[in-house]
Structure 1
């Protein structure tokens, strides 16, 4: 319920208690780090609000009137309660800022977040971070439910209720084993062939798979061939492709080492825009603060 107007501002009552204890408006003003005229004005405003004379003012100091003594006695309990409230909220904030719950898609969790977390620990050395890696749809659900303070997704679509802000860019690449027939196609393969070829892929709700579907949809290719294999991790997909199971489309961040070593080979897909935005997500209308806000800023500024 709303506070009654007579007691909606406790500052004047706090000043009155200081005058009662110190015997002087001037000394009370010093304790509250305000000027004496400002303290006097605040006390007179309190008297006008209450319709009571609270102080006897004299050349040797100020003393409380009978009404002032009663008001001060009643106010003391309210101010003690306000101090307890402030201390409790402060304790909760300290505890909340000591633990950060993050949900991130596989690509971000494996290839970007480790560097981001090293950076945030420099500013928050006692911070405890709990990371849950999942597909983009699951990340969105964790953030919406409040089970994650901040999420990072790679998929193109998001449910209602989430605010999204780009933090990095990524490029999808088609990869095969060194002996695959596509490695002899110097000009690459057309989008239609990619769409009709069974791939080694993540589950249907993964951000990588949905981003590929969205890219091919711009070429009038509304469906992909059923997956050759459907695996739950990028590492498992890379091993399967390198063993010769079939092609895959993966984040360029995930295959840098394998492409350099020659265990995987990139196959061009001319005309298909496979760049995508990696985004931080949090509930709409919510303002990031503390370590969550700091991590978001690190993700935006840190080079990939």
Structure 2
């Protein structure tokens, strides 16, 4: 039973889940190795179950990463599947989810080379403080918050960003400072736990809470988001926040390489380990 945990050659930040998951899989009888997606000399083996974990630099070469995903999926079994990864690699998926009736954080897109006016966007949308970030990103890469009085700085930041890549503009959600951004963790068909995250911008570190129970409203929301693809997933993370009216809104749907906060929830680690072992064993049959 062979398992490869996909990562990258140089992690931009420590992966708190990695050692726990490797140890749990080895204790379950698996042969485990780390597989850097961006190392051309380190290809997946046939019959090896590949689980995407800390490929946290993929935003630097998203096309190269997606090509690696396709090659890997043709060689062996990959989780999450290539079709899910393709759909989730660009945050334009928020637009698709909104069309499906999911309440998302309102978003305006500025594609590479576009000239979007921050004053026009904020006036038309009625937004005050805003957040600008890339459409393809990980962690807090090139993510900044701007107050209503900082329109000129926001415009410079957006113009610089769209010279190189697609960008998105969203209103700042004040409830992040109170209710917080909640990450709802889903493993093998079940929501396991939630954590509260602090706001994170370029150059800052992330602070997370201990595991928290998932409220019924949060559970129903996450299940609605995941329902069409739930049977295809090994893991997911649904990041939510409340708007000014207390309505839950989706900030991000993480289906590629989310931190699952296994340190905070040992039962989630056990569930993920069992799910991987079951899939790897099925590959051997």
TM-score range, shorter chain: under 0.3
- Report the TM-score when normalising by structure 1: 0.26
Name the structure with the higher helix share: 1
* Greater Rg over alpha carbons, structure: 1
